[in-house]
Structure formats: C-alpha cells, structure tokens
C-alpha cells in the first residue's frame, strides 16, 4: 500500500518527504484554506517537492465548469490529478477527462456503488471517506473492504485511496483490506513512527554503550 500525505502544509510535506516513504499528496479546499494561500500557489509549491501524484479539487458543480477547472489545474504540473465529486455531473466530467488523458480522483465516495460508477467512468483513483462514515455511526472501513473485493473480482484498474483516515489503526485496517493507497494526515503519519518500546530500546542501548565507549581496541587494523 502506497502512503500519501493528506495535507496542503508545505513544511509537513517537506518533512515527511525527507523520510523517503512518501508516494503522493492529496489536498482538498478545506486543507488549502487552512494554509491561507491561493490554490495555485499551494499546488505549485507542493509540485516542487512531490514527484508522485498530487490531487487538487475542482469546485464547480456543473460538468463544463469542472472540465474548465480540471484542465487549468492539470496544466500546473504533470503529476496533478483532479478531484471530482461523486455526482452525475462529476461522472460526466470524469469520463471526458479520462478520454483526454487527464487523471482524476473521484472524491466524496461513501458506497461501493459510487466506486463502481467512478471506475466505469474511467477514474484513475477513487476515494472512499472512512472517517466521515465512522462519524455517522457506520463502519467506514467495510466500504473499503467491499470496493477492494469488487475491483479484484473484475480486475478494475482504478486505484482505491482510503481517505478520511483519522488514526493509526485506520491505516492498518486499510492495508489489511488491500487498499492501493492510504492518504494520511500529518499527525497520524507522525504517530505511526512511534512506539514506547522503540524509545526505551534506544535509551537502553545508549546507556549500555556508555559502559564500553572509552575502552581501547586491542586488535590490529587490517587492510
Ligand atoms: C482526502 O482525499 C480527503 O479530502 C480527506 O481525507 C478528508 O478527510 P476528513 O474527512 O478528515 O476531512
């Protein structure tokens, strides 16, 4: 499962990119708004750092508007794909964009039927929102499991991005379900690294090494 960062924050993207584990970035209008920059500036800065797929969201509600925005956003960098909401107009836009070779990420997906429609329209990615389903008392990850099953059965090439992930166990569950990609908030990515036994282990190794670090070597150097 590839790991994407779900943010528009440049410092966070730069930091996680340095770990060498980052395959892409997803943004949405709420995430960009938090940064107080224009969508275009934000995307240009992200594209300077990230070479993998970057999702940028179209905001029009009609297909014509979506197409106009999509073409404009896609021209910012060759690795930008366009997030289109799951609506009839959105499906129409995705099917046209896929024929034009513009990559799309069908967003705000909450059911397997919506994912099937996105795939039939030719979406490159489909993003089921796990956390928002959990928020209303549904088991969000079951939608990811179902979509993976269906896509596997029919050899569907649309890639599933497990989105709206809120905590580290969501990432584990998405991986076990067979999601192609998990898009992860910065805070969750940082939590994923941590384990108290790792910290205790490092402390103990450093303490034990103190006992021998000044001992001279008695062996001759060999060339
Ligand atoms: C990513 O594609 C989504 O926009 C994002 O994961 C939504 O997350 P949220 O439900 O926590 O806002």
Cβ-contact 24, 50 below 8 angstroms: yes
Tell whether the model's pLDDT for residue 117 goes beyond 70.
yes
Residue 159, beta-bridge partner list: 125
130 C-alpha to ligand 1 centroid (Å): 9
Cβ-contact 4, 161 below 8 angstroms: yes
164 C-alpha to ligand 1 centroid (Å): 4
Residue nearest to atom 8 of ligand 1 (CA): 164
Residue nearest to atom 10 of ligand 1 (CA): 164
Residue nearest to atom 9 of ligand 1 (CA): 164
Q: What is the pLDDT of residues 157-189, one digit of tens each?
A: 999 999 999 999 999 999 999 999 999 999 999
Cβ-contact 67, 92 below 8 angstroms: no
222 C-alpha to ligand 1 centroid (Å): 58
Mark whether 51 is an active-site residue: no
Q: Which residues line ligand 1 (CB under 6 A)?
A: 6, 26, 28, 107, 127, 129, 131-132, 163-164, 183
162 closest CA partner among 122, 130, 124, 119: 130
> What percent of the chain shows pLDDT beyond 90?
97
Provide the pLDDT for residue 42: 97
Q: CA-to-CA distance for 140 and 171, rounded, in angstroms? A: 12
Cβ-contact 65, 87 below 8 angstroms: no
pTM: 0.95
182 closest CA partner among 140, 139, 214, 137: 140
Tell whether the model's pLDDT for residue 221 goes beyond 80.
no
Mean residue pLDDT of the chain comes to 97
């Amino acid at each position: 499962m590839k790991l994407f960062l779900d943010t528009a924050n440049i410092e966070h993207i730069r930091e996680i990119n340095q770990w060498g584990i980052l395959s892409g970035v997803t943004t949405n209008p709420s995430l960009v708004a938090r940064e107080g920059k224009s969508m275009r500036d934000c995307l240009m800065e992200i594209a300077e750092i990230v070479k993998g797929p970057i999702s940028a969201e179209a905001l029009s509600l009609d297909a014509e508007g979506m197409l106009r925005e999509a073409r404009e956003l896609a021209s910012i960098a060759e690795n930008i794909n366009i997030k289109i909401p799951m609506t009839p107009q959105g499906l129409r836009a995705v099917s046209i964009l896929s024929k034009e070779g513009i990559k799309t990420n069908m967003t705000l997906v909450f059911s397997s039927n919506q994912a099937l429609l996105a795939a039939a329209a030719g979406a490159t990615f489909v993003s089921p929102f796990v956390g928002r389903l959990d928020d209303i008392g549904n088991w969000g990850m079951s939608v990811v499991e179902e979509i993976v099953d269906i896509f596997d059965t029919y050899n569907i090439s649309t890639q599933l991005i497990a989105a709206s992930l809120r905590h580290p166990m969501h990432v584990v569950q998405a991986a076990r379900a067979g999601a192609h990609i998990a898009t992860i908030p910065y805070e969750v990515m940082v939590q994923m690294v941590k384990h108290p036994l790792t910290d205790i282990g490092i402390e103990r190794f450093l303490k034990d090494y103190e006992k021998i670090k000044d001992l001279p070597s008695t062996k001759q150097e060999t060339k």
